[in-house]
Structure formats: structure tokens, C-alpha cells
Amino acid sequence: MAGSPSELEAKADPDSGAEPPHLSFTLLALALLMMAVVLNVTSLSSALPTISHDLGITAVQTFWVGTSSLISSTSFQPVFGSLSSIVGRKPMMLIAIASFTGGTVIASRASKATALLVGRSIQGLGAGGITNLSEVILTDLVPLRLRGRYLACLNSVWAIGSTSGPVIGAAFAQEVTWRWIFYINLPLIGVGFCLMIIFTKLQPLGTSLRHKLRDVDCGGILLFTTGITTILIPITWGGIMFPWGSWHTLTPLVVGSATLLIFVAYETFTSARPVIPLTLFRTRTLLVSYVGTATHGLILSCGLYYLPFYFQAVKGYSPILSGVALFPVTCTVLPGAMATGILISRTGRYRGVVWAGWLLVSLGLGLNCLVNLDTPNIVWIVSLVVLGLGVGILFSALNIVVLAAATMHPEQGSAATMFTFFRALGQTLGVAIGGTIFANRVRANLLTQAAVANVRDDVVGNHQVDLVALVPLINQISDPTMQQQIRKVYVDALRVVWAFCSAIAGVAGFLSLGMQHYELSHRVVTQQALQGNSPKSPSESK
């Protein structure tokens, strides 16, 4: 006989030691799929110079290899979330897995830049679906009060993949072949796919396919994906490939912004079932949480992304050793994320945890600004430990805040969808903003250094800095004085990046003071739960 929601909550009580049927296997499937997605993003950055050399591709093509997947993933996340509410979570997840697998195979066998770019774009499409639907499916399966411990597992996967990916990518590129960066995804995806097929059996939606397709917001999907993609592309190349004031950057920004305005009007006045319910943004706590989530994603890709650059260019570490130097972050993000999820599940309180997370992130990034050429190792180790704890805390806490605030909204799945979208959007903005700040600062400083003219001409173009070429050039300079000057330029540029991240973390922390408290004890049963756990009857819902 099917269990009631109260039985589901009792089975999943932290003290009972029991879990609903199939939940642990579904969670394992989601964790494996998520790990493949995160490694696909983070492991590639440290291997880009090797890939560029091996395939003989240009700096522009190398840039697109790194960003095409991120843009594709970010643009289509809300689409997967919306379609999953109409077609079903599991079918859309299987489509996402198929897309990610197909893109992985194409990218792993690529011999030219075109094939690699196609594979990366298809990968990004599937990665967006997996990232989004993992959060949404977990929202369907686990009662609100108990989601912290399960979200901690998924967020720990994000933490592990984000910090270990650069090490894995560098190791494959340096010791074996960069193609293993893609090969390693296949067993993770394969096992996750099998577990999803066998153990994840969600409640059917009970409508015909023809009726489901009538509910698809085709106009909203077209307007949103066109608008957000048109904005993200110039954001990623502004200040790097083209100046911010050039028509190459401004024209698509204006067109994309206008398209998104049309999208908002269409969703407000025309769409019966909008791809993004705009009513979500009328809840203050949700709005503040989404700003914090985007900021957290920005710090992940802007603040943490450039740490390996510091270790390789300034400290002179090898790619693998620079990954080892990230252990103070790796070893604190994971415990921070897991402890936070468990703590919130047990206490039901989250606002103080969020505030503590932002304080630690701001402090850690501020301490990074003190790092220079001669800084003792203990200083940057302490700063990374503080930063890692703060980032880990926010991994779980912000997610729980969104889900708690969403109990007051009928579209919990959409709230979870927008959480993953804003984190991905923040990561995309972080790559763009961090790259712009870093490149422009390096360029400005190099132009004042007459003693490094030969290196400057190789690195600095008319309006851009070749970031891929910069690190090996620094390490190959034979003149110690010249090398020291360039390292100082590099440290100064990185200091500005970290100061910017520290400032916006402080702003996000200040905004988080406006969060409201929502009880986590509400039993919220969503439309698509595990079979065998029936939703509330109408009388229970009243």
C-alpha cells in the first residue's frame, strides 16, 4: 500500500536511520551525473593550453572551447525545468543525459576546432538539463525539513568537482592525454543513467502527450533562449576579444536586452503556462537569495578560477602542484557544505548560517588581497581555509533558503530551476568580469614596463591580452629581473580581481539581512514524487 507523506517524512527522519525506497540509489545517480557535469567544466581550464597546441587552434577558438559549453548550459536550464513540469522529470533527464553523452563522444574524438566546439556546445545543452533537473528531482523526492542533508551531498559533489577539476585536467593533459578529460565522464554518466532507469520511478503526470505539448510555452522558450544567449556571448568576449565600447559587444547586448524585455511582456500578458513564472521575483527572500546565488556562482568562477594562475605564474608551480596547493580550499569546502546542510536540517534555522557564510567569504577574499610575491605559505593557506569554509557554507545554505521561501509559491520546481540558473549565470558572469578585470589590469601595467617590451608585444594586442599565452611566457623568461617585474604585474592584477569579489560578497551579505524566516517543518508534496509515496489528498492539503 502506498505510503502517506507523513510516513515518507518519518522514514526519512534523521534519527530513524531509514530512507524511502529507492531514494539512496536515485541520490547516487544524481551525484554521479552531477560530478560528470562539474568535472566537464572545471577540468578543461587547466588543459586549454595543451589542447590549443595539440589541435593547432587559435586563441579565439580556444576561448570558445572554454565558454561555448557554459553559455549553452546557462541558456537552456530554465527550458529543461519548464518542460519537465509538462513532459515529466525523468524523460527530460534522460534527454539531457543523451545530449551530454553525445557531446562528450564528439569532443573526445575531435581532431579539429569545429568538431570540438560542436561537441562542447551539445555537452553544455545536456549539462544544463542535468544540473537543473538534479535539484528539481531532489525537491520532488525529499520533504522540505530534510532536504538539507541530501542537498549537502549534491553540493559536496559541486564542491569536490569545482576544486579538484583543475588538478585532474592538468594531470591528464600533462601525463596522459587531454582526451581523458572527456573519457572520464562516460563511466560516471553510464552508471548514473542505469541507476536512473532502474530506481527512479516518479508519479506519472496522467495526461496525453498531445495535451502536454499544448502546454509548452514555445514563444517564451524562443524569446528567452535567444535573449539570454545574445547577452551572454558579448559578455564573455567583452574586454577580451573586443573592447566593451565596440559595436561587436554593444550591438548584441542591446539586441539581447530588448529581446528579454519582450520576453517579460510576453510572459506577463500572453503565456498561459510561462517558462519562467515571474511571480517568483515578487517574494523578497527569493529575490535576495537569487542575487546571492548569482554572486556565489560569480565568486566560484572569478575568485577561485584565478587561484591556479597565481600558483603557476607567480609561485612557479607546475599545473599539478598548483592543484595540490588548492587543497586548503578543497578540504574545507566539502565539510562546510555537508555540515551546513545537516545543521540546518536539525535546527530549522538558516539565516544566521547564510550571514556567517558571506562574512567568511568576504574575509577570505580580503585576505587574498594581502598576498604578494614574498608572502609566506601560511598566509595564503589561512586565507584559502577561511574562503573555503565560507563558500562551502553558502553551497548548502542558499539552496535551502530558496526551497524554504518557495513553500509559499505553487511552483516549487520553477523556484529550484531558477536557483540553478542564477548560479550558472553567476559563473558565466564571473568568467567574463574576472577575465576583463584581469586582462585590462595586466595590459595597463605591462604598457608601463619598458623593460619587458619583448614579452609585452607577444602578450598584449591592440585591445586584448592572450591569457593562455601569458603563463608559459612568464616561466620561460631567463632574465630574473624581468621575470620578477612581470610576476609583480600579475600579482597586482589578481589582487584587483579578489578585491572586486570581496566587495560584491559584502554587498550580497548585506542584502541577505533582508531574508525572512520560513519554517522548514511544512510538509510540501510536489506533483512528481517517487511512486509508492502518494501525494496528499485534497482534505490534507487544505
What is the spatial distance between Cα 323 and Cα 182, in angstroms, rounded to a whole number? Answer: 19
- What gap in Å lies between CA 409 and CA 397, rounded to an integer? 19
pLDDT digits (tens, 9 = 90+) for 154-207: 777 876 777 677 778 878 877 788 889 899 999 999 999 999 888 877 766 656
Q: What is the pLDDT of residue 96?
A: 94
Highest-scoring range by mean pLDDT, 220-234, 308-322, 331-345: 220-234
- At residue 40, does pLDDT exceed 80? yes
Q: What distance, in Å, lies between the first and last C-alpha atoms of the chain?
A: 23
**Paired residues of 460 in beta bridges:** 465
User: Per residue, what are the HEC states of 99-150?
Assistant: HHHHHHHHHHCCCCHHHHHHHHHHHHHHHHHHHHHHHHHHHHHCCHHHHHHH
Has residue 409 got a pLDDT over 60?
Answer: no
Provide the 3-class DSSP secondary structure of residue 457.
helix
Bigger pLDDT: 71 vs 5: 71
Distance CA 162, CA 156 (A): 10
C-alpha cell at 209: 502527450
CB 255 within 8 A of CB 226: no
63 Cα distance to chain centroid: 18
C-beta separation of 310 from 492 below 8 A = no
Cell of 487: 610576476
Q: What is the DSSP string of 438-455?
A: HHHHHHHHHTT-GGGHHH
Predicted confidence (pLDDT) at residue 4 exceeds the cutoff of 50? no
Say how far apart CA 264 and CA 253 lie, in whole Å: 17
Q: Tell me which residue of 131, 471, 508 sits closest to 314, measured CA to CA.
A: 471
pLDDT of amino acid 505: 93
Range(s) within the chain of domains with CATH label 1.20.1250.20: 5-217+272-541
Read off the pLDDT of residues 252-301 as tens digits, 9 standing for 90 and up: 999 999 999 999 888 887 766 777 878 788 888 888 999 999 999 898 87
- What's the whole-number mean pLDDT along residues 396-400? 84
Strand partners, 238: 242
One-letter amino acid at 65 equals: V
pLDDT at res. 16? 42
Chain centre to alpha carbon of residue 113? 25
What average pLDDT score do residues 19-37 get?
83
The pLDDT value given to residue 52:
79
Enumerate residues 6+ apart whose C-beta is below 8 A from 96. Answer: 80, 125, 126, 127, 128, 129, 130, 133
CATH architecture of 5-217+272-541: Up-down Bundle (1.20)
